[in-house]
Amino acid sequence: MTSIKQQIEALSASLHQHNINYYVDDAPTIPDAEYDRLLHELKALEQQHPEHVYPDSPTQRVGGMPLDKFEQVTHLKPMLSLDNAFNSEDIQSFDKRNSDKVGRIEYCCEPKLDGLAVSILYRNGILERAATRGDGNVGEDITENVKTIRSIPLRLRGEFPDLVEIRGEAFMPKAAFDAVNEAAKTKGDKVFVNPRNAAAGSLRQLDSRITASRRLDFYAYALGVVEPESWALAEDHYAQLQQLKSWGLPVSREVKVCPTLPDVDAYYADILTRRDSLDYEIDGVVIKTNSIAQQQQLGFVAKAPRWAIAYKFPAQEEMTLLESVDFQVGRTGSLTPVARLKPVFVGGVTVSNATLHNADEINRLGVKVGDTVIIRRAGDVIPQVVAVVKEKRIESAEDIVFPTQCPICDSDIERVEGEAVARCTGGLFCGAQRKEAIKHFASRKAMDIDGMGDKVVEQLIDKELVQTPADLFGLSASAITMLDRMGMKSATNLVKALEDAKQTTLAKFLYSLGIREVGEATAANLAAHFKNLDAIKVANVKTLIEVEDVGVIVATHIEHFFAQSHNLEVIDALLAAGIHWPQIEEVAEDAQPLKGQTWVLTGTLTQMGRSDAKAKLQLLGAKVAGSVSKKTDCVVAGDAAGSKLVKAQELGIKILDEDGLLAVLNG
Ligand SMILES: NC(=O)c1ccc[n+]([C@@H]2O[C@H](COP(=O)([O-])OP(=O)(O)OC[C@H]3O[C@@H](n4cnc5c(N)ncnc54)[C@H](O)[C@@H]3O)[C@@H](O)[C@H]2O)c1
Ligand SMILES: [Zn+2]
């Protein structure tokens, strides 16, 4: 059995290490809730065994420590932490303990901003020095960085003391946090776990240009040292904050005087409901004794004032076990790994699933099945796995393996090089992709089935009248009348529209299959190049990239699509249903009058889409380029054509308007 002393030492050592991770490296490895539990455990042990309370215990000292890469600043008055309360009873006993000593207390309530404490010294109204809290006695000189925060005045306004120290919270607004992490992910840099760590990491930069780019903000919440001491400060905390405001310092609009405890509870409840809509993170409210005289009577304990308390909100980060990973197929075939978690209460709800996004994200996190992970749920945002608690990794933890077959339709899964997302290639057949596939198939630029809108498609699938596009052509008018607001007349019209749609072109048919990245223009190029469907079915990447505008990625998608037997079955069924198109004639050289020419399209065409025009020009043999150069043979200038038209004029290149183009196309 370990002795109490050993237990206390082990807990202290662990908390000390977590303090370093959090305050020095800005990279905690466990969620705050877990840290708080460990600290609570230590406090309880120390209470039972006061002989083992050491002066350097994490319960006795502010957790931070100044880094020696910064100049050190000794605070004129220590910067302390706050005691925590987690429920209304905690607040009641806080109030009772204090009012027993000093009589009835009025409170001032403020949001507990989730950033880091900063002290700013103004001498004769000029910002002289700014420092972090550090270990409470010695902080770091971050003057240059603090000066980059736009809301902090470099010079005070109005009437102010000769020397005044302002204390407040520097924080990173939610939007700035998202932007910083988005950019870091793109660059493959380290991602911050939460806005607090991001703010601390940004403010403790040796290069203040980096700090400036991070869009930090600041709210003042207290006065430190003031000289001369006789200077007329207001007598309560709320009024002092108004003084700070009159000097030009930003003060939160949410600060409120709460005369009674029920007012305090109401304040807490109100701001908790608005937590998600605030521009910045808060992790609770700070309840302060409003009267400065009462504050002085109450004084301090080891590392916190007796006259204030932090009333914490439910944690937004928790840790739990990742039990398994499932793969969901989205409506466009994308495969999303979903973490199945041991249920955990976080952000006010019980969470048992979290998205892992894609393979890149899994690699970035280095997460395995069987790991203990940190889950973050802030507001309505879907729960995220933000980190692995590496120290809790078990030996039997297993790598997450992506399936090679679609869990819904068993088609091959492809992950094209350079793309983060893996996808099911069974687009025409896959149950997960059915609705999107058929909506696309029926759309105007594809098979152009009149009256087959999105709503109709959705109902046909929901009522299980249709599973693949081929089933559309077997629909009877009486079956169609089962849909909402579909009388016999409209149903008959729809059957007729289906019949009419069977007559199409190879290009439209290819486009309607919904092959990834095969748009109208590519479909037209494929049709013109291969001239019949059978040739396209057996084409491979090597032969496909010979087609105008088809690169390796598109070619890979096409090859994979036609390699799926289920897709081929649906195509056969479509042809059996009577879909047909005119044979594409071998185009003789002289039928390609624009062979060897380079054309450029610019401006808006009113009678056809740009991609249509491009495909038609290509059929006539022209190459269609994106920019004008000396090698350009002709520029088609639609409405509002701009710089390309000007350049063509400068180079003396032939210019056609839309009518001119139509004349060429219609031969
Ligand atoms: N995950 C980890 O490994 C780890 C390690 C260490 C600490 N922590 C977390 O850090 C927190 C403890 O940190 P702490 O000691 O810095 O204290 P704290 O953040 O709980 O409370 C004190 C701080 O609140 C801030 N504050 C915000 N708004 C304020 C306001 N209106 N008035 C006054 N102060 C305001 C100040 O910066 C002050 O220093 C806990 O939540 C703990 O879980 C986590
Ligand atoms: Zn599938």
CATH number of the CATH domain containing 520: 1.10.150.20
Ligand 1 atom nearest to 31, measured from its CA: 1
Taking each helix axis from N to C terminus, what angle separates 261-274 and 88-102, rounded to the nearest 10 degrees?
A: 140
Pairwise pLDDT comparison (540 vs 419), residue with the higher score: 540
Let me know if residue 63 belongs to a domain: no
pLDDT band at 493 (very low <50, low <70, confident <90, very high): very high
Q: What is the pTM of this model?
A: 0.78
Answer yes or no: is the C-beta of 134 below 6 A from any ligand 1 atom.
no
Q: Where are the alpha helices (DSSP H) in 29-142?
A: 32-48, 88-102
Q: Does the pLDDT of residue 81 top 70, yes or no?
A: yes
**Pocket probe mutation, ligand 1, options 32, 107, 311, 317, max atoms within 8 Å of Cβ:** 32
CATH number of the domain that 231 lies in?
A: 3.30.470.30
Let me know if residue 178 belongs to a domain: yes
Q: Are 70 and 140 in contact (CB under 8 A)?
A: yes
Let me know if residue 445 belongs to a domain: yes
Let me know if residue 583 belongs to a domain: no
Instruction: Report pLDDT for 258.
Output: 98
Does 231 lie in the same domain as 300?
A: yes
Does 374 lie in the same domain as 262?
A: no
Cα–Cα distance measured from residue 196 to residue 277, given in angstroms and rounded to the nearest whole number: 17
CATH number of the domain that 336 lies in?
A: 2.40.50.140
Q: Where are the alpha helices (DSSP H) in 443-551?
A: 454-462, 469-472, 477-480, 488-501, 506-512, 520-530, 533-537, 541-544
Let me know if residue 75 belongs to a domain: no
Let me know if residue 60 belongs to a domain: no
Cα–Cα distance measured from residue 576 to residue 167, given in angstroms and rounded to the nearest whole number: 78
Q: Does the pLDDT of residue 459 top 80, yes or no?
A: yes
What are 31-42's pLDDT values in tens digits?
Answer: 999 999 999 999
What are 500-519's pLDDT values in tens digits?
Answer: 999 999 999 999 999 999 99
Instruction: Report pLDDT for 620.
Output: 83
What are 597-633's pLDDT values in tens digits?
Answer: 899 999 888 888 887 888 888 878 888 888 898 889 9
Does 343 lie in the same domain as 219?
A: no
Range of weakest confidence among 8-17, 314-323, 598-607: 598-607
Cα–Cα distance measured from residue 243 to residue 237, given in angstroms and rounded to the nearest whole number: 10
Instruction: Report pLDDT for 1.
Output: 65
Contacts of 628 (CB under 8 A, 6+ apart): 600, 602, 635, 644, 647, 648, 651, 653
Q: In b/e form, how buried is each residue of 76-101, taking b as 16+ CB within 10 angstroms?
A: eeebbbbebbbeeeebeebbeebeee
Q: Are 164 and 146 in contact (CB under 8 A)?
A: no
Reported in sequence order, the residue ranges of 60-203 that DSSP labels E, i.e. its strands, are 72-74, 84-85, 107-113, 116-123, 126-132, 138-140, 163-171
Q: How far out from the chain centre does Cα 456 lie? A: 34
Q: Does the pLDDT of residue 346 top 70, yes or no?
A: yes
Q: Which ligand is located closest to the Cα atom of residue 407?
A: 2
Q: Which of 502, 520, 537 is the last residue of a domain?
A: 502
Answer yes or no: is the C-beta of 171 below 6 A from any ligand 1 atom.
no
Answer yes or no: is the C-beta of 114 below 6 A from any ligand 1 atom.
no
Answer yes or no: is the C-beta of 217 below 6 A from any ligand 1 atom.
no
Cα–Cα distance measured from residue 73 to residue 318, given in angstroms and rounded to the nearest whole number: 35
Let me know if residue 475 belongs to a domain: yes
Q: Are 133 and 79 in contact (CB under 8 A)?
A: yes
Range of weakest confidence among 95-109, 186-200, 453-467, 497-511: 186-200
Q: Which of 268, 295, 312 is the last residue of a domain?
A: 312
The residue from 112, 303, 368, 614 that is catalytic is 112
Answer yes or no: is the C-beta of 119 below 6 A from any ligand 1 atom.
no
Instruction: Report pLDDT for 643.
Output: 87
Tell me how far the alpha carbon of residue 298 lies from the centroid of ligand 2, in angstroms: 67
DSSP state letters, 512-529: HTT-TT--HHHHHHHHHH
Q: Are 84 and 310 in contact (CB under 8 A)?
A: yes
CATH number of the domain that 39 lies in?
A: 1.10.287.610
Instruction: Report pLDDT for 536.
Output: 96
Cα–Cα distance measured from residue 344 to residue 373, given in angstroms and rounded to the nearest whole number: 11
Does 523 lie in the same domain as 485?
A: no
Instruction: Report pLDDT for 654.
Output: 92
Instruction: Report pLDDT for 55.
Output: 87
Residue 43 CB neighbours (<10 A): 15
The answer to whether 537 is a known catalytic residue is: no
Pick the residue whose CA is nearest to atom 17 on ligand 1.
81
Tell me how far the alpha carbon of residue 503 lies from the centroid of ligand 2, in angstroms: 29
Does 613 lie in the same domain as 537?
A: no
What phi and psi values does residue 84 have, to the nearest 5 degrees?
Answer: -110, 145
- If you compute the radius of gyration of the chain from its CA atoms, what whole number of angstroms results? 34
Two structure tokens written together for 363: 């690699």
What are 18-32's pLDDT values in tens digits?
Answer: 999 999 888 899 999
Pick the residue whose CA is nearest to atom 9 on ligand 1.
32
Give binding residues as ranges: 32-36, 81-82, 110, 133, 169, 288, 312, 406, 409, 430
Give binding residues for Zn(2+) as ranges: 406, 409, 430
Cα–Cα distance measured from residue 96 to residue 104, given in angstroms and rounded to the nearest whole number: 9
Average pLDDT for 319-324: 98
> What is the average pLDDT value for the chain, to the nearest integer?
93
Tell me how far the alpha carbon of residue 60 lies from the centroid of ligand 1, in angstroms: 15
Q: Which residues surround ligand 2, an ion (CB under 5 A)?
A: 406, 408-409, 411, 424, 426, 430
Ligand 1 atom nearest to 28, measured from its CA: 3
Number of domains observed in the structure of the chain? 6
Q: Which helix (H) or strand (E) holds 615?
A: helix 610-619
Q: Which ligand is located closest to the Cα atom of residue 335?
A: 2
CATH number of the domain that 647 lies in?
A: 3.40.50.10190
Domain assignment of residue 156, given as a range: 84-312
Q: Does the pLDDT of residue 586 top 80, yes or no?
A: no
Does 290 lie in the same domain as 176?
A: yes
Q: Which among 403, 407, 437 is positioned nearest to 561, based on CA atoms?
A: 437
Q: Which of 277, 312, 347 is the last residue of a domain?
A: 312
DSSP state letters, 328-370: EE-TTSEEEEEEEEEEEEETTEEEEEEE--SHHHHHHHT--BT
Give binding residues for NAD(+) as ranges: 32-36, 81-82, 110, 133, 169, 288, 312
Let me know if residue 67 belongs to a domain: no
The three-state secondary structure class of 388 is strand
Q: Are 105 and 289 in contact (CB under 8 A)?
A: yes
Answer yes or no: is the C-beta of 310 below 6 A from any ligand 1 atom.
yes
Does 126 lie in the same domain as 241?
A: yes
Tally of helices (H runs) and strands (E runs) in the chain: 25, 22
Pick the residue whose CA is nearest to atom 42 on ligand 1.
32
Does 539 lie in the same domain as 495?
A: no
Q: Which among 151, 145, 153 is positioned nearest to 200, based on CA atoms?
A: 145
Tell me how far the alpha carbon of residue 147 lies from the centroid of ligand 1, in angstroms: 23
Instruction: Report pLDDT for 592.
Output: 77
Q: Are 167 and 131 in contact (CB under 8 A)?
A: no
Cα–Cα distance measured from residue 233 to residue 223, given in angstroms and rounded to the nearest whole number: 10
Cα–Cα distance measured from residue 294 to residue 613, given in angstroms and rounded to the nearest whole number: 81
Tell me how far the alpha carbon of residue 408 lies from the centroid of ligand 2, in angstroms: 5
The three-state secondary structure class of 282 is strand
Does 610 lie in the same domain as 554?
A: no
Ligand 1 atom nearest to 255, measured from its CA: 31
Range of weakest confidence among 161-175, 246-260, 348-362: 348-362
Contacts of 96 (CB under 8 A, 6+ apart): none
Does 388 lie in the same domain as 267?
A: no
Q: Does the pLDDT of residue 587 top 60, yes or no?
A: no
Cα–Cα distance measured from residue 426 to residue 566, given in angstroms and rounded to the nearest whole number: 7
Average pLDDT for 61-73: 87
Answer yes or no: is the C-beta of 110 below 6 A from any ligand 1 atom.
yes
Q: Which ligand is located closest to the Cα atom of residue 567?
A: 2
Does 308 lie in the same domain as 343?
A: no
Ligand 1 atom nearest to 133, measured from its CA: 39
pLDDT band at 550 (very low <50, low <70, confident <90, very high): very high
ipTM greater than 0.90: yes
Tell me how far the alpha carbon of residue 291 lies from the centroid of ligand 1, in angstroms: 23
Burial level of 152, CB count in 10 A (0-12/13-18/19+)?
A: buried
Answer yes or no: is the C-beta of 139 below 6 A from any ligand 1 atom.
no
Residue 2 CB neighbours (<10 A): 9
Does 260 lie in the same domain as 220?
A: yes
Answer yes or no: is the C-beta of 547 below 6 A from any ligand 1 atom.
no
